[in-house]
């Protein structure tokens, strides 16, 4: 486990890295996204802007955080000036002088961009690619938190399924999983749980309903916990009673595709190659079956981060990334199967961060 001193050093290093990047370009950097601000400074408030240049680092926020912001900054040991401001952009224009201002165009509204452009003397430049890659390699403290979030997810799912009865609905199970995550130490669920029984499992992002789970023969559960700000992500297909021959076959084929793709992961491989392995293995497995989404994504402070693992991605997998691999097949109006694991990319392959069992048939069934 990382010590608080180690984490203080890491936050200072993150800020120093961005300021060095600015110095190389004689430019400034603005973080408007709450996740980037937390990653840089430790500040967890809902309203803030971080301004960085080679000589200056400032967190602008409002009066609601007059006490919280300095305390959190001090706790993380970063030498960031905290300024309470109703309109920080005039201050940013003054600090930036004639330099260009880089920001994340995906996290900035058009009106904010126009306002900054109207005030500064330099240009506004989209630094989205830089911002994407900034957090993609996880340090040890982040990995510990993500691993803990994954462990909490597995414990909560196990406990919730043990309490399943004939009357339990999808909504009740979803609420119970969330409650048990918090009981096991999570801040909350990383995202609303997907609990989809029977035909509802054919919808990749089904919302929990009043469907009684045990009236069906299979259950798809996609769940993740948030532990100290960091997320986990896992999907399991759970047989409730004997699956049909086709369902069992589809489940095994999707699991085989996932296993094959995971075995191919190594630093330097293209993300689209991993997607291709899954897609090729699942293609035409079941008549009418469709693979309706990408194969995976990065996970960290956000549930969906860089890299993207899909057929259009130009991203390259690197050691220290935390990613999902989640192939699926969906037969409209019938059923769906998805297996998803959370993985740490290592120097030679992967480490599984989710270690929950996978079954393609009920335990007491021999076919």
The rounded radius of gyration (Å) of the Cα atoms in the chain is 23
pLDDT digits (tens, 9 = 90+) for 121-135: 999 999 999 999 999
Q: What's the rounded Cα separation, in Å, for the pair 206 and 26?
A: 48
Res 255: pLDDT: 97
Domain boundaries, the chain: 4-134, 140-352
Sign of CA dihedral 79, 85, 89, 91: negative
Q: What's the rounded Cα separation, in Å, for the pair 238 and 357?
A: 10
pLDDT digits (tens, 9 = 90+) for 10-68: 889 999 999 999 999 999 999 999 999 999 999 999 999 999 999 999 999 999 999 99
Edge to edge, the sheet with strand 225-227 lists 188-189, 225-227, 230-231
- Domain 4-134, classified CATH 3.40.350.10, yes or no: yes
Cβ contacts of 126 within 8 Å, gap of 6 or more: 102, 103, 104, 105
pLDDT digits (tens, 9 = 90+) for 173-190: 999 999 999 999 999 999
Res 2: pLDDT: 42
Question: pLDDT class for 287, splitting at 50, 70, 90?
Answer: confident
Res 10: pLDDT: 87
Q: Which fold has domain 140-352?
A: Creatine Amidinohydrolase (3.90.230)
pLDDT digits (tens, 9 = 90+) for 317-367: 999 999 999 999 999 999 999 999 999 999 999 999 999 999 999 875 444
| Separation of first and last alpha carbons in the chain | 46
Res 364: pLDDT: 55
Q: What's the rounded Cα separation, in Å, for the pair 205 and 308?
A: 18
Judging by beta carbons within 10 Å of its beta carbon (0-12, 13-18, 19+), is residue 300 exposed, middle or buried?
buried
Res 362: pLDDT: 85
Are 214 and 253 in contact by the 8 Å Cβ rule? The answer is: no
- For residues 151-155, give the mean pLDDT: 98
Residue 295: name the closest of 320, 268, 270 by CA.
270
pLDDT digits (tens, 9 = 90+) for 60-96: 999 999 999 999 999 998 999 999 988 899 999 999 9
Taking all residues of the chain, what is their mean pLDDT, rounded to a whole number? 94
Which pTM was predicted?
0.94
Q: Which residue has the higher pLDDT, 287 or 100?
A: 100
- For residues 151-160, give the mean pLDDT: 98
Res 50: pLDDT: 97
At residue 98, does pLDDT exceed 80? yes
Question: pLDDT class for 5, splitting at 50, 70, 90?
Answer: low
Share of the chain above pLDDT 90, in %: 91
């Amino acid at each position: 486990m990382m010590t608080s001193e180690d984490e203080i050093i890491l936050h200072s290093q993150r800020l120093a890295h961005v300021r060095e990047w600015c110095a190389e370009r004689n430019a400034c950097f603005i973080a408007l996204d709450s996740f980037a601000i937390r990653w840089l400074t430790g500040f967890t408030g809902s309203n803030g802007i971080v301004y960085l240049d080679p000589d200056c680092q400032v967190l602008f926020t409002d009066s609601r955080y007059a006490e919280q912001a300095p305390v959190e900054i001090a706790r993380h040991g970063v030498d960031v000036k905290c300024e309470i401001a109703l309109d920080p952009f005039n201050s940013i224009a003054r600090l930036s002088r004639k330099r260009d201002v880089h920001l994340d165009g995906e996290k900035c509204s058009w009106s904010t961009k126009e306002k900054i452009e109207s005030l500064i003397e330099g240009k506004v430049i989209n630094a989205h690619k830089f911002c994407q890659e900034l957090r993609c390699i996880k340090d040890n403290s982040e990995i510990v938190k993500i691993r803990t979030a994954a462990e909490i997810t597995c414990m909560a799912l196990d406990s919730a399924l043990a309490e399943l009865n004939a009357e339990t609905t999808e909504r009740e199970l979803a609420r119970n999983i969330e409650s048990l995550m918090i009981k096991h130490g999570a801040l909350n669920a990383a995202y609303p749980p997907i609990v989809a029984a029977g035909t509802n499992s054919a919808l990749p992002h089904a919302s929990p309903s009043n469907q009684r789970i045990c009236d069906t023969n299979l259950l798809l559960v996609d769940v993740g916990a948030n532990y100290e700000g960091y997320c986990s992500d896992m999907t399991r297909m759970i047989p409730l009673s004997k699956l049909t021959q086709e369902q069992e076959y589809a489940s095994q084929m999707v699991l085989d595709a996932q296993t094959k793709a995971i075995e191919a992961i190594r630093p330097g491989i293209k993300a689209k190659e991993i997607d291709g392995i899954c897609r090729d293995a699942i293609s035409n497995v079941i008549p009418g079956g469709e693979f309706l989404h990408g194969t995976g994504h990065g996970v960290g402070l956000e549930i969906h981060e860089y890299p993207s693992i899909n057929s259009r991605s130009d991203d390259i997998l690197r050691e220290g990334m935390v990613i999902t691999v989640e192939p699926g097949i969906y037969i409209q109006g019938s059923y769906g199967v998805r297996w998803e694991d959370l993985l740490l990319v290592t120097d030679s392959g992967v480490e599984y961060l989710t270690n929950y069992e996978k079954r393609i048939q009920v335990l007491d069934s021999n076919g």
